[in-house]
Amino acid sequence: MVEAEPVRADIGVIGGSGFYSFLEDVTEVIVETPFGSPSDSLFVGELAGRKVAFVPRHGRHHTVPPNRINYRANLWALRSLGVRQVLAPCAVGGLHPELGPGTLVVPDQLVDRTKSRVQTFFDGEPLPDGRLANVVHTTFADPYCPTGRAVAVAVARGHGWGRVMDGGTMVVIEGPRFSTRAESRWHAAQGWSVVGMTGHPEAVLARELELCYTSMALVTDLDAGAETGDGVNHGDVMRVFAENVGRLREVLFAAVTALPENDGRSCLCSGVHEGWDLGIELP
């Protein structure tokens, strides 16, 4: 069912149909933003009394590659429905042999190695709708919500997920190609943990919108430098993700119900712009 009326949600999940398709009474909501259209409609359902809005990051038919996702529209659309906390499952490659397929990493740091993506709402240009946001430099030393991270780690361990890494650094590459062996070895040598293609600018755009953002990174492969075979390929990634989507969904839903109420947030995320004039109202 497609709704034109305002539908509200508390918590956002950026992830595909494997996470929401079996929920009862899912409402499809078409949201337009000043930055264009999100990757797809948003799908709003209820989970233990919490309203959850899902946005399929790559579109419902997986047609949008990481480098062409309208990250600004996805985050803006979630916030405009009322979302203040975001859980972001994603597939990543492990950069060290001990971070093999099936490991769940809840990173606490990221490194941006993307090249072509707009990564701010505050770039000194008028919004497409004519409003002008001020130039704002957002605190990003700790890119993830500490509360959301603690919840994600606790529920994953509580569900008996064998390998959960609390912390670690996700390096985000431009994609859609995978890394060369040299790039992969270099990433590993820096001490970084996992490599992905979507974690940035998602995290910083969430922070700019004062959203709590928590990455839940499922390792689907050992990246090119960490193995001796042919290197990672798309089929392996999809297969391992599919094998784990059921338990990832369980953990994700448990995390949704364990997050604090939106107006009870005490983390840095909600007040990151306190005292600053943004020039625009956030949605």
Which amino acids are annotated catalytic?
A: 221, 223
Cβ nearer to Zn ion, comparing 87 with 267? 267
Among 20, 23, 27, which Cα is nearest to 1's? 27
| CA 38 to each of CA 29, 43, 58, 60, 145: distance values in angstroms, whole numbers, following the listed order | 11, 12, 10, 11, 23
d(C-alpha 61, C-alpha 40), whole Å: 9
165 is in an annotated binding site: no
Cβ nearer to Zn ion, comparing 73 with 206? 206
Q: Is 206 in the site for Zn ion (CB under 5 A)?
A: no
d(C-alpha 62, C-alpha 74), whole Å: 15
Cβ nearer to Zn ion, comparing 81 with 212? 212
91 backbone φψ class: left, alpha, beta (φ>0; ψ -120 to 50):
beta
Q: Is 267 in the site for Zn ion (CB under 5 A)?
A: yes
The CB-side HSE value for 2 (13 A sphere, CA atoms) comes to 4
Residue span binding Zn ion (CB under 5 A) among the ranges 46-54, 76-84, 247-255, 263-271: 263-271
Residue pair 221/240 in contact by the 8 Å Cβ criterion: yes
270 is in an annotated binding site: no
Q: Is 212 in the site for Zn ion (CB under 5 A)?
A: yes
58 is in an annotated binding site: yes
Q: Is 145 in the site for Zn ion (CB under 5 A)?
A: yes
Residue pair 84/192 in contact by the 8 Å Cβ criterion: no
Residue span binding Zn ion (CB under 5 A) among the ranges 10-18, 93-101, 107-115, 142-150: 142-150
23 is in an annotated binding site: no
Local structure of residue 50 (DSSP, 8 states): E
223 is in an annotated binding site: yes
Cβ nearer to Zn ion, comparing 145 with 252? 145
57 is in an annotated binding site: yes
Residue pair 207/80 in contact by the 8 Å Cβ criterion: no
Q: Is 269 in the site for Zn ion (CB under 5 A)?
A: yes
Residue span binding Zn ion (CB under 5 A) among the ranges 41-49, 118-126, 143-151, 201-209: 143-151
Among 159, 164, 157, which Cα is nearest to 104's? 164
Shortest distance, position 148 Cβ to Zn ion, whole Å: 6
Residue span binding Zn ion (CB under 5 A) among the ranges 20-28, 158-166, 167-175, 210-218: 210-218
Tell me how many residues contact Zn ion (CB under 5 A): 4
| Residues near Zn ion, by CB under 5 A | 145, 212, 267, 269
